[in-house]
Amino acid sequence: MKIYGISNCDTVRKARKFLENKQCNFEFIDFRKDGLSIETVQEWLKFADFSVVVNKRSTSWRGLDGSQKALLSSDTATDDALALLVEQPTLIKRPVLQTGDTVLFGFKEAEYQQII
């Protein structure tokens, strides 16, 4: 089990604390410190639509120009859109919980409970 996010995000902290309280073994990958690959994002897209991956409520989203927002507003993940997400991973809805056969975006306790 892997959980992706940034260490100072409150939602990521809640998800990590939930998993710790349930005594789940997981690896935490910090987008900012550890980086992120296009291949990882492509793997996630096998489990979720591109529109679910993009965090349009983030500060990073508000800082984008119109063409970048249009690129990320598409239903299709183009190479340029993936490159932008990897370059600015805070544009990804977090946390991302990845297990062998599931990927969840955001933290909803009920969904996490079903996985563990």
Q: Active-site positions?
A: 9
**Dihedrals phi, psi of 104, to nearest 5 degrees:** -115, 140
48, two tokens: 């979720």
3-state secondary structure of 37: coil
Contact, 67 vs 40, CB < 8 A? no
110, two tokens: 């009920």
Residue with tokens 């995000």: 9
